Amino acid sequence: MHVLNDRVDRQAEGFQRNRAELLRDLAEIEDLLATTLTGGGEKYVERHRQRGKMLARERIELLLDEDASFLELMPFAAWGTEFTVGASLVTGIGVIEGVEVMVIAHDPTVRGGTLNPHSFKKVFRAMEIAKENRLPIVTLVESGGADLPTQAEVAIPGGRIFRDLIDHSAAAVPTVALVFGNATAGGAYLPGLSDYVVMVRDRAKVFLGGPPLVKMATGEESDDESLGGADMHARRSGLADYLAEDEADAIRIGRQIVRRMNWRKLGPGPTELPEEPLYPADDLLGIPSADAKIPFDPREVLARIIDGSRFDEFKPLYGSSLVTGWASVHGYPIGLLANARGVLLSEEAEKATQFIQLANQVDTPLLFLQNTTGFIVGRAYEEGGIIKDGAKMINAVTNSRVPHLTVNMGVSYGAGNYGMCGRAFGPRFLFSWPNSKTAVMGPQQLAGVMSIVAKQSAADRGLPFDEEGDARMRAAVQSQIEREQTALANSARVYDDGIIDPRDTRTVLGICLSVIHNAEIRGQRGYGVFRM
């Protein structure tokens, strides 16, 4: 068992510069998070409160076990769009009566809790996480349904929510709907397809068609309460299993339902000593390079994340641009793959392939710490079969069955993103550090490539090359990529599950590992491990 050393020079200029830049990025993130707390804005929050209602986050806080964690997911969804940041939903993983649960709460202060295309992306991802990790789902319902102006984008795909709910239930993972307000028309199927339904007296409104629609359809005179009130559903339709006296009562009942789920996690519990790392997490502000061109030693990051800073490196002398090895986080054993010098060569790809197979053989989850500029290019490497070797790594990542966690610490470019288990490769969770970047390649490179291609094309056609126009194009492309590659831009598109403070990495990973262990942990079987 090897304990990592501390080689960080906290006084170094680079460390200080990295730290300053990261703190600046964090401040921006913090400010943005602060705006999410006011939902649809002060005016709507005030109106909501005047109705004697709790905000979505207040409902969640009361629902969760005191002093336990809540990992909010995808808080930046819809950032930079016409829609409110957070996409009128609050979702995350919390602990209720000792059970890790996926909580999905509508934020009725944002356009009445209506769901736009970003909201659907967020819900789909939340339900995917719940499904993969076998988490019960508790939905706090108060939504006007689909955002009608975007119905073309949401109405048809939106049905997936209902299919997922049923799948979830069929997979023996309970679903609970606590209905605080509107759940009408299509939204009525949210309680309609949940295993347990709680409705708040005089508040819940659950019907397929409201009084005007009923009047138009059949001429029947009716009102909200008789058509879809909580009392009616509890006593007559039977859609409500529990009638709650008020919001707090609904939450109390929700907790009671979870307590009675007789929930058993299928994964093994933590098996290693969950000692704190030997070195302060605060250093994680100064270690990752602000300048993407400067690599940093991922062991320094590991030394501040893993239990007791204990790391047993695998194949340390081979393919040294990728660090692989074994460690544990909060007592959960993990296999680690971390980029050391950005680029992936054939050796690194093969080492990764072998290591991923080893982890599958012993059912150990994998953590990918990304800081990769991609696979190497160049004649010698092409001749050496870098595509084949990269393909092996991507193949191994794809067919690996142990849970994967991915954290982007720096850059994640090109096919390196694939090999290092980017979003498309279905890691159970993917988080980004605030300064990280994800794109097909760096902005300068991309602009340069486009310029060269254009120049070539002009030469091929014998046309004069517009140098000024090219410079403008390069500048425009570069700035576009710079905007698009940021953590925030990617998080807005739900290409990650959130941006985290590097100092929280150990905590976030610990929560994720605990969550992952709700499901069985079992690696791919079939072939023996291929030596590379």
Between strands 70-73 and 89-96, the pairing is antiparallel
User: Which two three-digit tokens encode residue 166?
Assistant: 């049923």
Query: Residue 301 CB, nearest distance to other proteins (Å)?
Result: 17
57 burial class (0-12, 13-18, 19+ CB within 10 angstroms)?
Answer: middle
What is the separation of C-alpha 270 from the centre of its chain, rounded to a whole number of angstroms?
23
Rounded to whole angstroms, what are the CA distances from 201 to 183, 190, 192, 408?
14, 18, 17, 46
Which residue from 20, 28, 41, 98 is in contact with other proteins, where contact means CB under 8 A? 98
Which of residues 4, 22, 26, 71 is near other proteins by CB under 8 A?
71
Please list, in sequence order, all residues whose beta carbon lies within 8 angstroms of the beta carbon of residue 456, skipping any fewer than 6 positions away: none
Task: Report whether 122 contacts 87 (CB < 8 A).
Answer: yes
Question: Which of 169, 222, 507, 524 is the binder for other proteins (CB under 8 A)?
Answer: 507
Shortest distance, position 517 Cβ to other proteins, whole Å: 9
Helix 467-484 crosses helix 443-461 at what angle (to 10 degrees)? 150
User: Residue 164 or residue 501: which is nearer to other proteins going by CB?
Assistant: 501
Footprint (CB under 8 A) of other proteins, residues 238-277:
245-246, 248-249, 251-252, 265, 270, 274
Residue 57 interacting with other proteins (CB under 8 A): yes
The answer to whether residue 70 forms part of the interface with other proteins (CB under 8 A) is yes
Report the distance separating Cα 347 and Cα 532, nearest Å: 8
CB of 187 to other proteins, least distance (A): 25
**Least distance from C-beta 407 to other proteins, angstroms?**
14
Nearer to other proteins, 183 or 499 (CB): 499
Part of the chain binding other proteins (CB under 8 A), chosen from 365-373, 379-387, 474-482, 495-503:
495-503
- Please report whether residue 511 would count as binding other proteins according to CB under 8 A: yes
Say whether residue 331 binds other proteins (CB under 8 A): yes
CA dist., res. 156 & res. 153, Å (int): 7
Q: Check binding of 62 to other proteins (CB under 8 A).
A: yes
Among 36, 194, 360, 400, binds other proteins (CB under 8 A): 36
In the complex, the smallest distance separating the C-beta of residue 516 from other proteins, rounded to whole angstroms, is 12
Q: Which residue has the tokens 């054993």?
A: 333
Secondary structure element (H or E) that encloses residue 362, with its range:
none
Residue ranges of E strands in 89-174 = 89-96, 99-106, 137-143
In the complex with other proteins, the residue whose CB is nearer, 250 or 356, is 250
DSSP secondary structure string for all residues of 149-169: GGHHHHTTGGGHHHHHHHHHH
Decide if residue 72 touches other proteins (CB under 8 A): yes
Residue 419 CB partners (closer than 8 Å, separation 6+):
344, 349, 352, 372, 375, 390, 393, 394, 397
Say if strands 343-344 and 366-372 run parallel, antiparallel, or are unpaired: unpaired
Q: Tell me the closest approach of the beta carbon of residue 222 to other proteins, in angstroms.
A: 28
For position 14 contacting other proteins by CB under 8 A, the verdict is no
Q: How many CB atoms lie within 10 A of CB 20?
A: 13
Tell whether residue 66 is a contact of other proteins (CB under 8 A).
Answer: yes
Please say which residue, 66 or 460, places its beta carbon nearer to other proteins.
66
Q: Is 501 in the site for other proteins (CB under 8 A)?
A: yes
Identify which of residues 394 and 513 has a Cβ nearer to other proteins in the complex. Answer: 513
Interacting residues with other proteins (CB under 8 A): 33, 36-37, 55, 57-58, 61-62, 65-72, 75, 95, 98-100, 245-246, 248-249, 251-252, 265, 270, 274, 281, 330-331, 498, 500-501, 503-504, 507-508, 510-511, 514
